[in-house]
Amino acid sequence: MALRRADPSASEPPGTLSPTTPAGSSLELEDEDAFFEDGAAPETHTDELGDAESGLPLGVEPWSGSEMPEGTASSHDLHAPVDDASADAGDDPTAPGVELLPDASELNYRRLYETRFRDLESGAREALARQATDSELFALTLDPLPSVIAALLDNPQFGLAHARSVAFHHYTDRGLEMLTRRAAFARDTHVQRRLLANPHTPDVVLDRVLRFKRLLEMYRFSIDRDLPERNRVRVRSRLRPQFMRAEPEDRAALIIKTEGRCLLGLSGCTFDARTTQLLCNHSFLSTLFIQNLARFPATPPVLIAKLLRSPTVQRQPPLRAMLARHPNAGGDAKRKG
């Protein structure tokens, strides 16, 4: 039985290219209005495109649960709550029924101080400071009067967290000095750090903070860029006399751990015999360390001779020449250099 090939043009719509149509041949398309009868749009396959109204793909159902709660973009809209009793009392914190302790987790202490305490008389703020707790206690640590700070120190609820806030925000000499009278507060490292970061810290408070600090800690404070320039200069001015009073082990540790960088600010200081011995027992492998010792005018002759014998200097003629030019170098070193 003979098979007859089906005519593809009979089953395909006008304008559709047939698989048997040779490439490059042209077809005449019928008029578009004739193809879409009565101007009707082509049928849309919703099972392939999904729900056009909801914009969801196929197989994804719209949310049918409860709506998500609305929130705020930031915490700047938080205000210290003022109830009806407070409004009726004219914002008098001593009136009965006034709530002064809003939730600490939702409170901006600066806003609380500005809205509740700033406009009160100093006597009223002092009275509140002696009995304040929780949120209002933190808010009153922002008060600028030293008398209020003294009242806070009499509060049994006043602790290290409140002392750290006072050390950072307060700016009167008397208030900061009263804070550091308490040994527990003056020894706290966070309180010390905030006092050093406070540009209004007086000299007497700075001396209390640095009194028991080691030389290495003082040197780190003197170069710390997070501290105000005024405080860095004041720490550097105290580093030189502290270096002369320190133990030899502390002196040697400062010079070794800083690779001699500290010597730039120790002009006029000298090394005692024990410090020189500890430095001579150290292995000098850093070129920078040797250069800093060679530039320091008070480097002892024994240490210069030890440096000249080190393998690092023997391999580098410029270092040997630098040490030979030192005023404490011996005659043999000058001739060989």
Q: What is the pLDDT of residues 123-150, one digit of tens each?
A: 898 999 999 888 888 889 889 999 999 9
The token pair at 335 is 């001739």
CA distances from 311 to 287, 293, 306, 314 (A): 11, 16, 10, 5
The token pair at 84 is 């009806």
State whether residue 53 is helix, strand or coil.
coil
Backbone angles phi, psi at 51, to 5 degrees: -80, 110
Q: pTM for the full model?
A: 0.62
Considering only CA atoms, which of 222, 274, 224, 265 is closest in space to residue 246? Answer: 274
Backbone angles phi, psi at 56, to 5 degrees: -95, 145
State whether residue 56 is helix, strand or coil.
strand
pLDDT at 333: 56
Q: Per-residue confidence at 6, pLDDT binned at 50, 70, 90?
A: very low
Lowest mean pLDDT among 84-98, 168-182, 207-221: 84-98
Mean pLDDT, all residues of the chain:
76
Length of the chain: 337
129 touches 152 (CB < 8 A)? yes
Secondary structure letter of residue 65 according to DSSP: S
